Amino acid sequence: MGERIIFDEAFRARLHELFIWRRDVRRFRRDALPAGALDRLIETACLGPSVGLSQPWRFVTVDDPLRRAAVIEAFRAANAEALAAYSGERAERYARLKLAGLAEAPGHLALFTDRSTEVGHGLGRRSMPETAEYSAVAAITIMWLAARAEGIGMGWVSILDPARVAAILEVPADWRFIGYFCLGYPESEEDRPELERAGWAERRGAREFILRR
Amino acid sequence: MGERIIFDEAFRARLHELFIWRRDVRRFRRDALPAGALDRLIETACLGPSVGLSQPWRFVTVDDPLRRAAVIEAFRAANAEALAAYSGERAERYARLKLAGLAEAPGHLALFTDRSTEVGHGLGRRSMPETAEYSAVAAITIMWLAARAEGIGMGWVSILDPARVAAILEVPADWRFIGYFCLGYPESEEDRPELERAGWAERRGAREFILRR
């Protein structure tokens, strides 16, 4: 195209604030999302990168109250198992954490990938088929930011047995479960992760994660 | 905190343009990145979400010309294997594609995860340990957007044998390779994926990827 698209300093500063104020939300108000918001956000997610243009992401919106209740039960079971793996004070602290907002969040979304897709003719996936999953994660990250910019919070629930979620949602047998997401308006806005505020763990400086070669 | 951070309509519109103009770049100018740009972008990436605050991402900046040459050779080998899996017209079209800008890009970055990290005390990773890799992908997606907002393009190279890259970069044996990234100023700015412009595959509407339950 040759067109020059410039994102100016003011936009970049605001974008940085968006990154800082994006949170994994577990405390939602019960207000409904605006009509069509979830579909619109999924459309934005689809602007994300995908390996070989395969677009392997599969979004499952979950509205059926029985399925939602089954997912909540699946979370409770997986969380009880996780708790049992801790002991002493760490177990007590784990038990006090609020790790999902499934009961309150007005929006429920599950994300899967379909590795068997022919779209993209397999390009880029031969030596690393897991890039299908990575594509879906990039897409949901973009959705997360777009949602936050609208004041909608998102929480990623990973304390689940993937096979159980797939069964509850009756998705094709070869789809892979990536994550389950709660969406809604957060009770409060925060610039620090809930686990940090709760004293569970702290963020480290980027320097600790860089190796030079 | 209770503070209200509002991202206004104008910002959201610009953010949407950022999503539209983010590209997987394979054609770079040779101009160097500004001093410190890569480290600064890695710092931004670390604002990304991570499962249980584990921050399992490990960034490897690659400047050594011998290691870079070895990565380029590893790409050539993997790409030749990939080409051999196509036949007829599809093979001819594959051979014509430019799939990486490794030789021209001024910035080389490899991304790994360390599942063995104790940070976060394993929270959220018990039933789905692969969320460590997903955390790293979310971080690199945030970096991708931050880079693009500065006019810096990024290209994700997945046509590589992970074990070979790990050996070239001499990283700890239990790290998992996520991807190799080229960074630099793009030759041109585009709002359509290179594979789409080359006629390899087309993007589909979001509706095709939504299931309702």
Q: Of B1, B58, B59, which has the smallest distance from its Cβ to A191's Cβ? A: B1
B158 touches chain A (CB under 8 A): yes
Look up tokens 């070989």; give the residue: A52
Q: Does residue B100 register a pLDDT over 70?
A: yes
Q: Does residue B71 register a pLDDT over 70?
A: yes
Q: What is the pLDDT of residue B3?
A: 62
Q: Show Cβ contacts of residue A57 under 8 Å, excluding neighbours closer than 6 positions.
A: A45, A46, A48, A50, A111, A112, A113, A135, A136, A139, A140, B209
Number of Cβ atoms within 10 Å of the Cβ of A66: 8
* Residues B155 and B181: beta-carbon distance below 8 Å: yes
Contact between B61 and A211 using a beta-carbon 8 Å cutoff? yes
Contact between A206 and B161 using a beta-carbon 8 Å cutoff? no
* Domain extent listing, chain B: 23-200
CATH superfamily of B23-200: NADH Oxidase (3.40.109.10)
Q: Once rounded to an integer, what is the mean pLDDT over residues B168-175? A: 97
Q: What is the pLDDT of residue B4?
A: 73
How does DSSP classify residue A178? Answer: E
**Strands ordered across the beta sheet of B107-113:** A210-212, B57-61, B107-113, B176-184, B153-157
* Residues B35 and A189: beta-carbon distance below 8 Å: no
Beta bridge partners of A24: A154
Contact between B121 and A86 using a beta-carbon 8 Å cutoff? yes
Contact between B159 and A212 using a beta-carbon 8 Å cutoff? no
Cα A152 off chain centre by: 13
Q: CA nearest A212 in B: which residue?
A: B61
User: What ipTM goes with this model?
Assistant: 0.97
Backbone angles phi, psi at B201, to 5 degrees: -160, 165
**Average pLDDT over chain A, rounded to an integer:** 96
Contact between B141 and A146 using a beta-carbon 8 Å cutoff? no
The Cα diameter of chain B in Å comes to 62
Give the pLDDT band of residue A213 (cuts 50, 70, 90).
very high
Residue B61 to residues A9, A114, A136, A194, Cα–Cα distance (Å): 26, 32, 25, 31
Q: What is the pLDDT of residue B72?
A: 98
CA A123 – CA A53 distance, rounded (Å): 8
Q: Once rounded to an integer, what is the mean pLDDT over residues A174-197? A: 96
Evaluated on CA atoms B155, B159, B160, B162, the torsion sign reads positive
Q: How far is A162 from chain B (nearest CA, A)?
A: 8
Give the pLDDT band of residue A183 (cuts 50, 70, 90).
very high
Q: Does residue A3 register a pLDDT over 80?
A: no
Q: Does residue B58 register a pLDDT over 60?
A: yes
Q: Does residue B79 register a pLDDT over 90?
A: yes
Q: What is the pLDDT of residue A4?
A: 74
Q: What is the pLDDT of residue B97?
A: 95
Q: Of A78, A158, A188, which has the smallest distance from its Cβ to B2's Cβ? A: A188
Q: Of B15, B161, B196, which has the smallest distance from its Cβ to A149's Cβ? A: B15
Q: What is the pLDDT of residue A198?
A: 94
Give the pLDDT band of residue A206 (cuts 50, 70, 90).
very high
For A125-151, write each residue's pLDDT tens digit. 999 999 999 999 999 999 999 999 999
CATH number of A29-199: 3.40.109.10
Chain B, residues 160-179, CB within 8 A of chain A, namely: 160-162, 169-171, 178-179
Q: Once rounded to an integer, what is the mean pLDDT over residues B75-81? A: 97
CA B143 – CA A49 distance, rounded (Å): 13
Name the percent of chain A lying above pLDDT 90.
97
**Chain B residues whose beta carbon lies within 8 Å of the beta carbon of residue A22:** 47, 49
**Chain A residues whose beta carbon lies within 8 Å of the beta carbon of residue B21:** 5
**DSSP string of B48-64?**
S--GGG---EEEEE---
Number of Cβ atoms within 10 Å of the Cβ of A203: 15
**Chain A residues whose beta carbon lies within 8 Å of the beta carbon of residue B5:** 17, 21, 189
Q: Indicate the pairing of strand B153-157 with strand B176-184.
A: antiparallel
Q: What is the pLDDT of residue A144?
A: 98
Chain A, residues 72-91, CB within 8 A of chain B, namely: 78, 81-82, 85-86, 90
Look up tokens 């960034």; give the residue: B59
Q: Of B5, B63, B121, which has the smallest distance from its Cβ to A21's Cβ? A: B5
Q: Once rounded to an integer, what is the mean pLDDT over residues B30-44? A: 97
* Residues A91 and A83: beta-carbon distance below 8 Å: yes
B92 touches chain A (CB under 8 A): no
Q: Of A90, A137, A151, which has the smallest distance from its Cβ to B137's Cβ? A: A137
B78: left (phi over 0), alpha (psi -120 to 50) or beta: alpha
**Strands ordered across the beta sheet of B210-212:** A153-157, A176-184, A107-113, A57-61, B210-212
**Chain B residues whose beta carbon lies within 8 Å of the beta carbon of residue A11:** 11, 14, 149
CA A61 – CA B57 distance, rounded (Å): 29
**Chain B residues whose beta carbon lies within 8 Å of the beta carbon of residue A191:** 1
**Chain A residues whose beta carbon lies within 8 Å of the beta carbon of residue B44:** 16, 19
